[in-house]
Structure 1
């Protein structure tokens, strides 16, 4: 098959959606398929390159201003640059895709490529990565309105088959977009197991002068949806029992409320904030950690799953039925707390630091669970089976 992968976010941009789309593309190539990846220009990344056996084309784009919304990444939109519609359609016409894999329901490249697919009768798979939600009532209302008057009508026209990653996403898509079992696949986030089989690139403890102190790592961009506040508010109780604890926050800081709260609580000295780090260095941070906490506001994304895979005890805030068809058992193969519950975070961290043997056992079970259910090879095979079915059905209708 010829598969076009379209995502406004793509490496060298870091983030779960970017890495997942690139990793799946590489896996499709490894399985013998042709892949074209189309994305938006980013920083000094080349306009075109060969990557892992497939072609990547980056279209000129306009970077949007950050305005404090809950999904406030440095987003770029290609449709705002003249001529990109024609460039994209020409690329796709030359590639002649059998199927198109879109990532992100509210990105303009997904819309443009989706319209192309509709006009050319090419089957489309759309992965929903980010939900348009916010705890802020004003922003939440704006997002709901955008979903109702813009995103939902576009999706109704595109008629994709959806890939939904977890229960929260399922509930959201049913409510906002009217999805159902008839037009959806429930595949989890894909984690590249091979990336964590490589030797670590650095000694994180030595670099940050942590020594043998208990270390909590929280890795991922800091945005309002993942604000780190439950961890910061848990720190006074944690430090009272384990005064040497250090916390490394790894990722670009788009929302600094956690730093202000740390200063108010007098725990700033326990924090190290690194900013974004290369993907190659991520395993080194997990290897250095005693505990990883990232998704404490609700969710369990790529960073948390990678931490579990690496064999480090990882705390997240989802329910045991979060992944359809995957059995999570709190305290056995996963560590779960309620969203935004700093007392539960403090209690869980203290229990883990007090009992290294239990911490190691749970970490091992987490790793086995992720490898069996979220491994890139497992998830990519499920995608390919779906592509093959969609392409066969499209051929019958032609």
Structure 2
């Protein structure tokens, strides 16, 4: 197959969506398929390169200002750059894709590539990564309107198969976009177990317990429950430190730490190279990242690494995967500092339980979320879509 992978986010940019797109593109190429990646320009990354058996095209893009919204990243949009629409059409026409894998339902590259595919009868799948939600009622209303006025009509126009990564995303898509069992499928988040197996893990000496919170700090993952739990944690375990790894787009947690007198217990590292991530997991006693609802890539990678992980998600979040509270993960209600404090203290008080929980968590991720396994699920889907499209085109006397 000739597969086009589309995502505004792609390495060297860090983040779950970017790494997932790159990991799957690599596996598609490894399986013998021709792969083209379309993404937005980022930093000093080359406009075009060959890597891991596939070709990457980074299109000039306009970087949007940081607005303090609940989806804040350094967002870049390519459709706003003159000439990009024609270039995208030309690239896709020259590549002649059999299938499209779109990442992100509200990015312009997904829309442009998806519309091209629909026009020419090329099937597409779209992975839903980020949900347009906010605790702020004004932002929430804006996001609901954007979903209703822009995203939902565009998805209907493209007609993709929706890839749903968890129950939260499935419920959201059914509510906002009207997805059904006919146009959606559940697939686990792919975790590159091989990357962590090959990692050169280094841990330095430290004093006191260590809590790691890895991932970009945005309002959707604001770290406030962890900061507000810190006074209780420090009262029981003095010397405990919290290391925050990831870009800080929203610094309310630091202001709150100052108010509570726990700022000295927090170390902010900012974004780090992906190669360093396994060492941060290995050096931590506990990982606490998804405390506002959810359990994403960073938490699953922590579990894989054998570090006790706390998350605020329902036990049935991943269809077919059994999250067992206290056995392979420690679950807390969203935005509940008291529950976070109790969970952290319990893990720090009982090293044997902590180690057993971490061991079972690692086995769970290897069994259900390993990249090799999940990539094969994606390829089977794409092959089935291509076969269906070809049969339909043959039956109607058209070429796909």
What is the TM-score normalised by the length of structure 1? 0.98
Is 1:14 aligned to residue 9 of structure 2? no
Aligned 1:318-337 pairs, distance under 5 A: 318-337=313-332
**Counterparts in 2 of 1:154 and 1:374: CA distance versus 1, 3 Å:** same
Paired position in structure 1 for 2:397: none
In structure 2, distance between residues paired with 1:124 and 1:385? 13
Q: How large is the Cα RMSD of the aligned pairs? A: 0.8
Deviation at 1:30, TM superposition (A): 1.2
In structure 2, distance between residues paired with 1:128 and 1:188? 12
Paired position in structure 2 for 1:196: 196
Pairing partner for 2:232 from 226, 233, 237: 237
In structure 1, distance between residues paired with 2:210 and 2:322? 29
In structure 2, distance between residues paired with 1:199 and 1:122? 38
Aligned 1:93-242 pairs, distance under 5 A: 93-200=93-200, 202-203=202-203, 205-206=204-205, 211-242=206-237
Paired position in structure 2 for 1:71: 71
Paired position in structure 2 for 1:293: 288
| Gap regions ≥5 residues in structure 1 | none
In structure 2, distance between residues paired with 1:239 and 1:289? 16
In structure 1, distance between residues paired with 2:35 and 2:273? 25
Cα contact 1:5–1:101 (8 A) shared by 2? yes
SS in 2 for 1:387: helix
SS in 1 for 2:148: helix
In structure 2, distance between residues paired with 1:361 and 1:333? 8
**4+ aligned runs moved over 6 Å, structure 1:** none
Cα contact 1:201–1:280 (8 A) shared by 2? no
Is 1:386 aligned to residue 359 of structure 2? no
Pairing partner for 1:262 from 257, 263, 269: 257
Deviation at 1:199, TM superposition (A): 3.7
Deviates more, 1:6-15 or 1:86-95: 86-95
Deviation at 1:51, TM superposition (A): 1.2
Count of residues in correspondence between the two structures: 393
Paired position in structure 2 for 1:44: 44
Cα contact 1:7–1:110 (8 A) shared by 2? yes
Paired position in structure 1 for 2:34: 34
In structure 2, distance between residues paired with 1:233 and 1:30? 46
Cα contact 1:35–1:54 (8 A) shared by 2? yes
Cα contact 2:213–2:287 (8 A) shared by 1? yes
SS in 2 for 1:304: helix
* C-alpha distance after superposition, 1:320-362 (max 9, x if no partner): 0101111111111221101001111100110100100000000
Deviation at 1:201, TM superposition (A): 5.2
* C-alpha distance after superposition, 1:120-171 (max 9, x if no partner): 1000000000000000000000000000011111111110000011111001
Deviation at 1:202, TM superposition (A): 4.2
* C-alpha distance after superposition, 1:238-261 (max 9, x if no partner): 000000101100000000000000
Pairing partner for 1:354 from 349, 357, 373: 349
Cα contact 2:38–2:56 (8 A) shared by 1? yes
In structure 1, distance between residues paired with 2:172 and 2:181? 14
In structure 1, distance between residues paired with 2:190 and 2:356? 23
Pairing partner for 2:311 from 310, 316, 319: 316
Deviation at 1:95, TM superposition (A): 1.0
Cα contact 1:191–1:375 (8 A) shared by 2? yes
What is the TM-score normalised by the length of structure 2? 0.97
In structure 2, distance between residues paired with 1:382 and 1:140? 34
In structure 2, distance between residues paired with 1:236 and 1:91? 55
In structure 1, distance between residues paired with 2:59 and 2:122? 21
* C-alpha distance after superposition, 1:79-105 (max 9, x if no partner): 000111111111111111110000000
Deviation at 1:198, TM superposition (A): 2.0
Deviation at 1:200, TM superposition (A): 2.8
Aligned 1:370-381 pairs, distance under 5 A: 370-381=365-376
In structure 2, distance between residues paired with 1:90 and 1:107? 19
SS in 2 for 1:25: helix
